[in-house]
Amino acid sequence: MRAGKWQIPETLFYSHDNYWVKLDGDEALLGLTEYGQSTTGDILYLELVPAGAVIRRGESFGSIESGKWVGSLVAPVSGIVMESNRELETSPRNVNSDPYGEGWMLRVKLHDPCATEGLMDAVAYQQWVEEQVRREQEDEVVS
């Protein structure tokens, strides 16, 4: 599935902060979506919380620096970090080149079996991305 030029895998869940969540029982793999990394720009630096850290939905699980901005990574789910993708410390652009593969960020043991509540499925995220793009284009016309 696609929204414009961005791939949206149908088996994942998505947040309004452009993170994807791949569920596997009570575990989840997390990363930044293709659309999200494209709006962020070339990622120059990533710092992720270590294994054992507790993350909470809506709170920071690390920091990101790109050519466009510096900011926090925002957790789409709550749980205990089982693994951080340490490869991203030396190769942060893997998020740009392979956001759904080598660019994954965390593997988390979920606290809540209803972890996907509040997240979008692929169809809803596709519509959301298309709306964001439409708004950006309107803003460009107005500016």
Domain harbouring 99, CATH code: 2.40.50.100
Q: What is the number of structural domains in the chain?
A: 1
Share of the chain above pLDDT 90, in %: 83
Would you state the pLDDT for residue 70? 93
Whether 33 contacts 16, CB under 8 Å: no
Structural domain that includes position 88: 2-142
Rounded to an integer, what is the distance from CA 65 to the centroid of its chain? Answer: 14
C-alpha–C-alpha distance, residues 84 and 33, integer Å: 17
Whether 99 contacts 18, CB under 8 Å: no
Above 80 in pLDDT, residue 103?
yes
**In this predicted model, what pLDDT tens digit does every residue of 51-92 receive, in sequence order?**
999 999 999 999 999 988 899 999 999 999 999 999 999 999
Would you state the pLDDT for residue 138? 85
This prediction's pTM: 0.93
Name 2's Cβ contacts closer than 8 Å, sequence gap at least 6.
8, 126
